[in-house]
Amino acid sequence: MNVAGRLAGFAVVLALVFAGAAWAGSQLDVHPGGTERPRMGAMDAPQPVRGLAVSEKGLTLELARRIAPQGSPFALAFRIVDGRGQTVRDFDVEHTKRMHFIVVRRDLTGFQHLHPSESADGTWSLPVTLPEAGSYRVFADFSVGQKPYTLADDITVDGSLRSHRLPAAAGAVDVDGLRVALAEGATKAGAESELTFTVTRAGRPVAVADYLGAKGHLVALRQGDLAFLHVHPDENRLRFMAAFPTAGTYRLFLQFKTTDGRLHTAAFTQEVTR
Protein backbone atom coordinates (compact mmCIF):
# COMPACT_ATOMS: atom_id res chain seq x y z
CA MET A 1 0.00 0.00 0.00
CA ASN A 2 1.36 3.48 -0.87
CA VAL A 3 1.78 6.30 1.65
CA ALA A 4 -1.46 8.03 0.65
CA GLY A 5 -3.42 4.83 1.11
CA ARG A 6 -1.92 4.21 4.55
CA LEU A 7 -2.74 7.76 5.66
CA ALA A 8 -6.33 7.41 4.47
CA GLY A 9 -6.73 4.16 6.37
CA PHE A 10 -5.32 5.74 9.52
CA ALA A 11 -7.82 8.61 9.23
CA VAL A 12 -10.72 6.13 9.04
CA VAL A 13 -9.52 4.36 12.19
CA LEU A 14 -9.27 7.67 14.05
CA ALA A 15 -12.78 8.63 12.97
CA LEU A 16 -14.14 5.35 14.30
CA VAL A 17 -12.33 5.79 17.62
CA PHE A 18 -13.67 9.32 18.16
CA ALA A 19 -17.18 8.25 17.14
CA GLY A 20 -17.07 5.46 19.70
CA ALA A 21 -15.86 7.82 22.42
CA ALA A 22 -18.61 10.29 21.61
CA TRP A 23 -21.25 7.53 21.86
CA ALA A 24 -19.88 6.35 25.22
CA GLY A 25 -19.91 9.89 26.56
CA SER A 26 -23.53 10.31 25.53
CA GLN A 27 -24.47 7.39 27.81
CA LEU A 28 -23.26 9.18 30.96
CA ASP A 29 -25.40 11.57 32.96
CA VAL A 30 -23.73 14.00 35.36
CA HIS A 31 -25.57 14.27 38.69
CA PRO A 32 -25.29 17.09 41.21
CA GLY A 33 -21.86 16.98 42.80
CA GLY A 34 -20.13 15.97 39.56
CA THR A 35 -20.77 12.22 39.85
CA GLU A 36 -21.12 10.47 36.53
CA ARG A 37 -23.40 7.48 36.23
CA PRO A 38 -25.03 5.59 33.35
CA ARG A 39 -28.32 6.88 32.05
CA MET A 40 -31.16 4.49 32.76
CA GLY A 41 -33.82 3.60 30.27
CA ALA A 42 -36.14 0.78 29.32
CA MET A 43 -33.46 -0.86 27.14
CA ASP A 44 -30.47 -0.17 29.42
CA ALA A 45 -29.06 -2.64 31.91
CA PRO A 46 -29.53 -1.53 35.54
CA GLN A 47 -26.56 -0.50 37.62
CA PRO A 48 -24.99 -3.47 39.42
CA VAL A 49 -26.17 -3.95 42.98
CA ARG A 50 -23.69 -3.71 45.82
CA GLY A 51 -23.24 -5.20 49.25
CA LEU A 52 -23.30 -8.85 48.21
CA ALA A 53 -19.68 -9.64 49.06
CA VAL A 54 -17.01 -8.96 51.64
CA SER A 55 -14.51 -8.09 48.87
CA GLU A 56 -14.94 -5.92 45.80
CA LYS A 57 -12.54 -4.39 43.29
CA GLY A 58 -9.45 -5.23 45.34
CA LEU A 59 -10.72 -4.06 48.76
CA THR A 60 -11.97 -6.21 51.65
CA LEU A 61 -13.97 -5.56 54.82
CA GLU A 62 -12.33 -7.15 57.87
CA LEU A 63 -14.50 -7.30 61.00
CA ALA A 64 -12.77 -7.64 64.37
CA ARG A 65 -15.62 -9.87 65.58
CA ARG A 66 -18.59 -11.76 64.12
CA ILE A 67 -20.34 -12.72 67.36
CA ALA A 68 -22.12 -10.08 69.45
CA PRO A 69 -24.08 -10.03 72.72
CA GLN A 70 -27.82 -9.55 72.72
CA GLY A 71 -29.18 -6.26 74.03
CA SER A 72 -25.85 -4.94 75.37
CA PRO A 73 -23.63 -2.29 73.76
CA PHE A 74 -20.35 -3.54 72.36
CA ALA A 75 -17.47 -2.06 70.40
CA LEU A 76 -17.66 -3.00 66.73
CA ALA A 77 -14.32 -2.49 64.97
CA PHE A 78 -13.29 -3.10 61.38
CA ARG A 79 -10.70 -2.25 58.74
CA ILE A 80 -10.72 -1.88 54.98
CA VAL A 81 -7.68 -3.63 53.49
CA ASP A 82 -6.29 -3.81 49.96
CA GLY A 83 -5.10 -6.85 48.01
CA ARG A 84 -1.76 -6.85 49.87
CA GLY A 85 -3.45 -6.84 53.27
CA GLN A 86 -2.51 -3.20 53.89
CA THR A 87 -4.99 -1.02 55.77
CA VAL A 88 -6.65 1.66 53.65
CA ARG A 89 -6.66 5.05 55.37
CA ASP A 90 -7.69 7.60 52.75
CA PHE A 91 -11.42 7.85 52.04
CA ASP A 92 -13.48 10.36 50.09
CA VAL A 93 -16.20 12.44 51.73
CA GLU A 94 -19.60 11.18 50.53
CA HIS A 95 -22.82 12.72 51.85
CA THR A 96 -20.73 14.70 54.38
CA LYS A 97 -19.10 11.54 55.85
CA ARG A 98 -16.06 9.41 55.03
CA MET A 99 -17.72 6.18 56.14
CA HIS A 100 -21.36 5.08 56.35
CA PHE A 101 -22.08 1.88 58.27
CA ILE A 102 -25.44 0.16 57.93
CA VAL A 103 -26.70 -2.59 60.24
CA VAL A 104 -29.89 -4.59 59.60
CA ARG A 105 -31.13 -8.01 60.63
CA ARG A 106 -31.64 -10.60 57.90
CA ASP A 107 -35.43 -10.23 58.16
CA LEU A 108 -34.98 -6.49 57.40
CA THR A 109 -35.70 -5.31 60.96
CA GLY A 110 -33.48 -3.42 63.39
CA PHE A 111 -32.13 -0.97 60.79
CA GLN A 112 -29.33 1.35 61.95
CA HIS A 113 -27.33 3.90 59.96
CA LEU A 114 -24.15 4.75 61.85
CA HIS A 115 -20.98 6.78 61.34
CA PRO A 116 -17.88 5.25 62.96
CA SER A 117 -14.67 7.00 63.96
CA GLU A 118 -11.30 6.23 62.37
CA SER A 119 -8.17 5.80 64.49
CA ALA A 120 -4.61 6.64 63.42
CA ASP A 121 -3.92 3.05 62.32
CA GLY A 122 -6.93 3.03 59.97
CA THR A 123 -9.24 1.00 62.21
CA TRP A 124 -12.87 2.16 62.29
CA SER A 125 -14.90 1.65 65.48
CA LEU A 126 -18.30 2.45 66.89
CA PRO A 127 -20.59 1.37 69.74
CA VAL A 128 -23.47 -0.86 68.59
CA THR A 129 -26.40 -2.49 70.38
CA LEU A 130 -28.28 -5.36 68.72
CA PRO A 131 -31.51 -5.87 70.67
CA GLU A 132 -32.66 -9.21 69.23
CA ALA A 133 -31.02 -12.53 68.44
CA GLY A 134 -30.35 -13.44 64.83
CA SER A 135 -28.05 -12.85 61.91
CA TYR A 136 -27.30 -9.23 61.07
CA ARG A 137 -25.92 -7.90 57.79
CA VAL A 138 -23.44 -5.04 58.13
CA PHE A 139 -22.47 -2.76 55.24
CA ALA A 140 -19.45 -0.48 54.98
CA ASP A 141 -20.43 2.12 52.38
CA PHE A 142 -17.63 4.44 51.25
CA SER A 143 -15.60 5.80 48.36
CA VAL A 144 -11.84 5.60 47.68
CA GLY A 145 -10.26 7.47 44.80
CA GLN A 146 -13.73 8.50 43.60
CA LYS A 147 -14.72 4.83 43.28
CA PRO A 148 -17.77 3.76 45.34
CA TYR A 149 -17.70 0.58 47.42
CA THR A 150 -20.24 -1.27 49.54
CA LEU A 151 -18.66 -4.21 51.37
CA ALA A 152 -20.71 -6.48 53.61
CA ASP A 153 -20.39 -9.27 56.15
CA ASP A 154 -22.52 -10.93 58.85
CA ILE A 155 -22.61 -10.68 62.64
CA THR A 156 -24.47 -13.27 64.73
CA VAL A 157 -26.30 -12.61 67.97
CA ASP A 158 -26.95 -15.84 69.90
CA GLY A 159 -30.28 -16.39 71.56
CA SER A 160 -33.86 -17.38 70.88
CA LEU A 161 -34.69 -16.20 67.37
CA ARG A 162 -38.08 -14.70 66.59
CA SER A 163 -38.34 -13.56 62.98
CA HIS A 164 -40.73 -10.88 61.78
CA ARG A 165 -42.81 -10.95 58.62
CA LEU A 166 -42.11 -8.12 56.21
CA PRO A 167 -44.99 -5.59 56.30
CA ALA A 168 -47.15 -5.34 53.20
CA ALA A 169 -46.59 -2.47 50.80
CA ALA A 170 -48.34 0.71 51.96
CA GLY A 171 -48.51 4.25 50.66
CA ALA A 172 -47.95 5.85 54.05
CA VAL A 173 -46.53 4.99 57.49
CA ASP A 174 -46.67 6.67 60.90
CA VAL A 175 -43.44 7.39 62.77
CA ASP A 176 -42.81 9.63 65.82
CA GLY A 177 -46.20 11.31 65.45
CA LEU A 178 -45.59 12.09 61.77
CA ARG A 179 -47.27 10.74 58.66
CA VAL A 180 -44.79 9.89 55.92
CA ALA A 181 -46.27 9.18 52.49
CA LEU A 182 -44.66 7.72 49.37
CA ALA A 183 -46.13 9.05 46.13
CA GLU A 184 -47.34 6.28 43.85
CA GLY A 185 -45.19 5.79 40.79
CA ALA A 186 -44.09 3.11 38.38
CA THR A 187 -41.28 1.02 39.82
CA LYS A 188 -40.13 -1.36 37.13
CA ALA A 189 -37.02 -3.48 37.11
CA GLY A 190 -34.30 -2.22 34.81
CA ALA A 191 -35.54 1.37 34.67
CA GLU A 192 -34.89 4.38 36.88
CA SER A 193 -37.71 5.05 39.34
CA GLU A 194 -38.62 8.27 41.14
CA LEU A 195 -39.39 7.93 44.85
CA THR A 196 -40.93 11.07 46.36
CA PHE A 197 -41.93 11.36 50.02
CA THR A 198 -43.99 13.92 51.94
CA VAL A 199 -44.12 14.49 55.70
CA THR A 200 -47.19 15.79 57.54
CA ARG A 201 -48.45 16.17 61.10
CA ALA A 202 -52.23 16.20 61.60
CA GLY A 203 -52.61 16.78 57.86
CA ARG A 204 -50.29 19.78 57.70
CA PRO A 205 -46.91 19.77 55.91
CA VAL A 206 -43.83 19.47 58.12
CA ALA A 207 -40.56 21.15 57.16
CA VAL A 208 -37.46 18.99 57.07
CA ALA A 209 -33.90 20.11 57.76
CA ASP A 210 -30.74 19.05 55.94
CA TYR A 211 -29.37 15.62 56.76
CA LEU A 212 -26.11 14.32 55.25
CA GLY A 213 -26.01 17.17 52.77
CA ALA A 214 -29.58 16.78 51.46
CA LYS A 215 -33.15 16.76 52.72
CA GLY A 216 -32.94 13.06 53.46
CA HIS A 217 -31.11 9.78 53.02
CA LEU A 218 -32.56 6.57 51.57
CA VAL A 219 -31.25 2.98 51.72
CA ALA A 220 -32.96 0.30 49.63
CA LEU A 221 -32.37 -3.39 50.35
CA ARG A 222 -33.63 -6.35 48.33
CA GLN A 223 -35.47 -9.04 50.28
CA GLY A 224 -33.60 -12.34 50.32
CA ASP A 225 -29.97 -11.47 49.58
CA LEU A 226 -30.15 -7.93 51.04
CA ALA A 227 -28.53 -6.41 47.97
CA PHE A 228 -27.71 -2.76 48.68
CA LEU A 229 -28.99 -0.29 46.08
CA HIS A 230 -27.31 3.02 45.33
CA VAL A 231 -29.94 5.77 45.61
CA HIS A 232 -29.42 9.34 44.37
CA PRO A 233 -30.95 12.11 46.52
CA ASP A 234 -32.34 15.47 45.51
CA GLU A 235 -30.71 18.18 47.63
CA ASN A 236 -33.87 20.25 47.95
CA ARG A 237 -36.67 17.78 48.74
CA LEU A 238 -37.41 14.20 49.71
CA ARG A 239 -37.06 12.89 46.18
CA PHE A 240 -34.76 10.04 45.17
CA MET A 241 -33.86 8.21 41.98
CA ALA A 242 -33.33 4.46 42.26
CA ALA A 243 -32.60 1.71 39.74
CA PHE A 244 -34.15 -1.57 40.86
CA PRO A 245 -32.24 -4.38 39.10
CA THR A 246 -34.85 -7.14 39.39
CA ALA A 247 -38.54 -7.62 40.08
CA GLY A 248 -39.34 -8.50 43.68
CA THR A 249 -39.77 -7.03 47.14
CA TYR A 250 -37.54 -4.29 48.53
CA ARG A 251 -37.41 -2.50 51.85
CA LEU A 252 -36.87 1.27 51.77
CA PHE A 253 -35.42 3.04 54.81
CA LEU A 254 -35.96 6.81 54.64
CA GLN A 255 -34.13 9.00 57.15
CA PHE A 256 -34.76 12.71 57.59
CA LYS A 257 -34.47 15.43 60.22
CA THR A 258 -37.17 17.83 61.33
CA THR A 259 -36.29 21.41 62.19
CA ASP A 260 -36.06 20.53 65.91
CA GLY A 261 -32.96 18.45 65.05
CA ARG A 262 -34.62 15.07 65.63
CA LEU A 263 -33.75 12.24 63.26
CA HIS A 264 -36.61 10.04 62.02
CA THR A 265 -36.58 6.71 60.17
CA ALA A 266 -39.56 5.58 58.10
CA ALA A 267 -39.57 2.13 56.47
CA PHE A 268 -41.58 1.13 53.40
CA THR A 269 -42.06 -2.15 51.54
CA GLN A 270 -41.81 -1.60 47.78
CA GLU A 271 -42.95 -4.11 45.16
CA VAL A 272 -41.05 -3.85 41.87
CA THR A 273 -42.58 -5.28 38.70
CA ARG A 274 -40.97 -6.59 35.52
Q: What is the CATH number of the domain that holds 268?
A: 2.60.40.1080
Average pLDDT over residues 218-242: 93
Residue 8 has pLDDT above 60, yes or no: no
Residue 192 and residue 149 share a domain: no
For residue 245, tell me if it sits in a domain.
yes
Residue 220 and residue 144 share a domain: no
37: part of which helix (H) or strand (E)?
Answer: strand 36-38
Residue 128 and residue 214 share a domain: no
Residue 151 and residue 181 share a domain: no
Residue 241: band (very low, low, confident or very high) from pLDDT cuts 50, 70, 90? very high
Average pLDDT over residues 39-54: 62
> What does the pLDDT read at residue 18?
37
pTM, two decimal places: 0.82
Residue 150 and residue 200 share a domain: no
Give 142-191 pLDDT, tens digit per residue.
999 999 999 999 999 999 999 999 999 999 999 999 999 999 777 899 88
Residue 220 and residue 131 share a domain: no
Cα Rg of the chain (Å, integer)? 22
For the chain, what is the domain count? 2
Residue 185 and residue 138 share a domain: no
> What does the pLDDT read at residue 30?
29
The residue segments making up the domain with residue 223 are 172-272
Residue 207 and residue 151 share a domain: no
DSSP secondary structure string for all residues of 3-22: HHHHHHHHHHHHHHHHHHHH
Give 105: exposed, middle or buried? Use CB within 10 Å, 0-12, 13-18, 19+. buried
Residue 48: band (very low, low, confident or very high) from pLDDT cuts 50, 70, 90? low
Residue 252 and residue 184 share a domain: yes
- Beta-strand ranges (E) seen in 145-189 are 147-157, 172-175, 178-182
End residue of a domain, out of 106, 129, 157: 157
CA atoms within 13 A on the CB side of 170: 12
Residue 150 and residue 63 share a domain: yes
For residue 98, tell me if it sits in a domain.
yes
